[in-house]
Amino acid sequence: MTAVVVAGLLAGYGIAIPVGAVGAYLVAVTARAGWRTGAGAALGVATADGVYALLAVAGGSALVPLLAPVMDPLRWASAVVLVVLAVRAAYVALSAYRTGGLASRDDGTALTPGRAYLTFLGITILNPMTVIYFAALILATGPSAPATLPDRTAFVLAALVASASWQFLLALGGTLLGRTLTGVRGRLVTALASSTLIVVLAVRLVARG
């Protein structure tokens, strides 16, 4: 059981640590909206990773051929959503800056922790590469892959915990960033820089396909 838990933790960190567009957006949202909203967003990402880990141990190898035809549409949908969110955040930041209202932590997006959770769950679930990653990992381990129900449960929970811990770390970084750049100009620069980064990473998401 210990080996399965370690494998789940490593798998969870393996998919979570590379910071892509979703991770950049998580940091940006937390910097603007605060820790509670960031925590909700982090749980949304971790939940999606946990769902895909569950799908992988339940039959990921069988799902890969089914997902293959819709990989590109889902990747494009994820990229479009991220770009729209980034552009909207930049627009709101510029509007607030012009009216002198950007010093507030609320940038007008009104993201509650619950809405942040659902938003980030939706964005992350659009990336079927996660289930392919977990399925490939399980297939690669061969006979040592989690086979019994307790082992599979432990693997999924460990992957979920690993992903959640990393997403919370990103949210903490966003909180510290928000506290540091509390000035009007600093928050504007942060909003524009994060929006630009999110767009670039979203484009790379599509280009890698």
The count of other CB atoms within 10 Å of the CB of residue 186 is: 15
Whole-angstrom distance, CA of residue 191 vs CA of residue 96 = 11
* pTM of the model as a whole: 0.73
Q: CB atoms < 10 A from the CB of 187, how many?
A: 23
Return the beta strands (E) in 80-191 as ranges. none
Q: What is the pLDDT along the chain (209 residues), one digit of tens a residue?
A: 677 888 888 878 877 776 677 888 898 888 888 899 999 999 999 999 898 888 878 776 566 666 667 777 877 877 787 788 778 778 877 876 777 654 444 444 567 899 999 999 998 888 766 767 777 666 655 555 666 778 888 888 998 999 999 999 989 988 887 766 556 666 677 677 777 877 886 777 677 65
Structure tokens at 91: 């627009």
- Both tokens of residue 124? 């992350």
What torsion do the CA atoms of 105, 108, 109, 111 make, to the nearest 10 degrees? 50
Domain extents for the chain? Answer: 2-207
